[in-house]
């Protein structure tokens, strides 16, 4: 989640994809962005970082709900 925010901030500051730091952030976050684009094809490119973070938060919540730590069923 923090890498996605870092990529978003670097995109706003630098914008150059040829930068070494930017290419590292792209390589690390592209799988999540690709999955988000596949799940939500209607999303605009500028909304993908926010939707990716939302997807991560929802997955974390679902894991906590279904696999409650410390409670045996």
Domain assignment present for 7: no
| pTM of the predicted model as reported, rounded to 2 decimal places | 0.73
pLDDT over 80 (residue 72): no
Distance CA 26, CA 31 (A): 9
Domain assignment present for 58: yes
- The per-residue pLDDT for range 25-65, each reduced to its tens digit, is 889 989 998 988 898 888 888 888 899 999 999 999 998 88
pLDDT over 70 (residue 73): no
Which pLDDT value is given to residue 58?
Answer: 92
Q: How many domains does the chain have?
A: 1
Which pLDDT value is given to residue 31?
Answer: 92
Distance CA 42, CA 52 (A): 14
Domain assignment present for 73: no
């Amino acid at each position: 989640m923090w890498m996605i925010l870092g990529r978003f901030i670097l995109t706003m500051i630098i914008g150059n994809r040829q930068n070494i730091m930017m290419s590292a952030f792209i390589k690390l976050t592209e799988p999540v962005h690709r999955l988000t684009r596949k799940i939500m094809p209607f999303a605009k490119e500028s909304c993908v970082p926010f939707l990716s973070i939302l997807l991560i938060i929802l997955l974390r919540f679902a894991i906590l709900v279904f696999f409650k730590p410390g409670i045996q069923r």
